[in-house]
Amino acid sequence: MNIGFACDWEGNREKTWSGTPYLLYESMKKLDGFNLYDLDINIKGFELFLYKILNLKLYKGKIEHKYRFSKLYLNSIKNKLFINLNKFKKIETLDTILEIGDIGIIKDIPFYIYQDLSLDLLIKELKENSKPMSGYENYSLNELYKRREWQLKIYEKCSGVFTMSKWLANNLVTDTNLPKKKVHVVYMGAIIVPDKSDYHLLEGKKETTILFIGRDFFRKGGDIVVEAFKILKKKYSSKLKLIIVGQKYWPLKGEIPDGVELIGEAPWEIIRNLYMMADLYCMPSRFEPLGTVFVEALSFGVSCIGRKLCAMPEIIKPDINGYIIDNENPENLEELMVKVFEDRDIKSKMKKLSKNYRDYYSWNRVASDMVKIMKYDQIKINC
């Protein structure tokens, strides 16, 4: 079986989409029983510069570009995919193709899509909360609807959609009206993992550490975490630390509270060490397609607190690996923090379960599940 892998690598393969397609591609390469071919559709150089210039927009006093939703750009990556496919046909026959995102409709070859979010969910979020999601601030509701038309056409013709959550899968079936047999939940793998299976948390720590990671501080509930931490530190102990990663400048009014450490963009190795230091990962996000950081924290044996929204309840199970908040109240969040710190059973469970999380939320498992589904569908076609 020959599988084509179609991805817009954005110039840096290892950093594209935080490493998701790269790690999936590398894991698929390790599997036996099929050949994997990279259908690189990266747009670069003057052509990419041109799309950016043609799609500039002023947003909050800053010039931003929104070329990824423009028809010119979408057609360009689709045409590049077709050009690569035609070149490939002269050398090898592809049995199926995996697209990272909805790139284009491929005729005569079964093709699949891998996604964490749909336009229907994005539009629903914008309508309900009236605040655009991070990364989509430049797009109007009308532009999202136009992009949705492109996505729906690809959904109709594709052989299947691999999703990163049941939350997305259920929405594709109930709201987007995709056939249930066409939607497959495979989740995702952790991006940052322990160096070895017999890792241990750093010993001799003087402080209990809460970790928060996120560029989009407010969407991910960073403001609530800070308020809850201030209550917790005042009530219980001075030996508490909150580490915030992804913020170059303090995002709230006033001074940085005592015990809060601000870290800007950090390389994976530093974040790996922070997971090993952490006693709790806390991110009550207001919108989260999945939350890679949760599966990473669990892989390190760190309990999590999230919110009863989106895909977070699929990962965080109360009294097993953490807790879920269902409101904006920092006092309620502080109470859950205390429960984590005082619950010895959770700590014991996490130590035992961490290997299970590492195995399940691994790219090797995701790749294997995808290939099994594509092979099974191929057998049905040939019968």
Number of domains the chain contains: 2
Please check whether residues 322 and 376 belong to one and the same domain. Answer: no
Question: Alpha helix (H) ranges present in 166-311?
Answer: 166-174, 222-235, 268-277, 292-299
pLDDT score, position 301: 93
Question: Alpha helix (H) ranges present in 55-118?
Answer: 71-89
Classify residue 129: in a domain, yes or no: yes
User: How far apart (Å, rounded) are the C-alpha atoms in residues 266 and 258?
Assistant: 22
Please check whether residues 131 and 253 belong to one and the same domain. Answer: no
CATH code for the domain in which residue 98 is found: 3.40.50.2000
Would you say 128 and 310 are in contact if contact means Cβ atoms under 8 Å apart?
no
In terms of residue numbers, what domain contains 321? 208-360
pLDDT score, position 289: 87
Classify residue 244: in a domain, yes or no: yes
Please check whether residues 181 and 330 belong to one and the same domain. Answer: no
What are all long-range contacts of 129-138, with beta carbons under 8 Å and residues at least 24 apart?
A: 129/286, 129/287, 133/219, 133/287, 134/215, 134/216, 134/219, 137/59, 137/60, 137/64, 138/57, 138/59, 138/64, 138/65, 138/66
What is the Rg, in whole angstroms, of the alpha carbon atoms belonging to the chain?
A: 22
Classify residue 200: in a domain, yes or no: no
- H or E element in which residue 153 lies: helix 141-157
Q: Report the SS3 class of residue 181.
A: helix
User: How far apart (Å, rounded) are the C-alpha atoms in residues 228 and 173?
Assistant: 38
Please check whether residues 214 and 139 belong to one and the same domain. Answer: no
Q: Report the SS3 class of residue 215.
A: coil
Please check whether residues 113 and 243 belong to one and the same domain. Answer: no
Please check whether residues 354 and 372 belong to one and the same domain. Answer: no
Please check whether residues 74 and 135 belong to one and the same domain. Answer: yes
Mean pLDDT of each 10-residue bin along the chain, 383 residues long:
91 87 96 90 84 74 76 90 86 90 92 96 84 71 91 96 97 96 97 70 71 93 96 86 94 94 92 93 93 94 95 94 95 96 84 91 97 90 74
Q: Backbone phi, then psi, for 171, in 5-degree steps? A: -65, -40
Taking the CB of residue 251, how many other CB atoms lie within 10 A of it? 15
pLDDT score, position 198: 44
Would you say 229 and 240 are in contact if contact means Cβ atoms under 8 Å apart?
yes
User: How far apart (Å, rounded) are the C-alpha atoms in residues 106 and 101?
Assistant: 13
pLDDT score, position 86: 87
Q: Which residues pair with 183 in a beta bridge?
A: 161
- H or E element in which residue 313 lies: helix 312-315
Classify residue 160: in a domain, yes or no: yes
Please check whether residues 216 and 315 belong to one and the same domain. Answer: yes
Please check whether residues 295 and 337 belong to one and the same domain. Answer: yes
Please check whether residues 178 and 318 belong to one and the same domain. Answer: no
Classify residue 107: in a domain, yes or no: yes
Classify residue 196: in a domain, yes or no: no
Strands 96-100 and 2-7, bridge-based pairing = parallel
Please check whether residues 84 and 212 belong to one and the same domain. Answer: no
Please check whether residues 86 and 138 belong to one and the same domain. Answer: yes
Classify residue 11: in a domain, yes or no: yes
DSSP string, 86-133: HHHHTT---SEEEEES-----SSS-EEEEES--HHHHHHHHHHH-SPP
Classify residue 14: in a domain, yes or no: yes
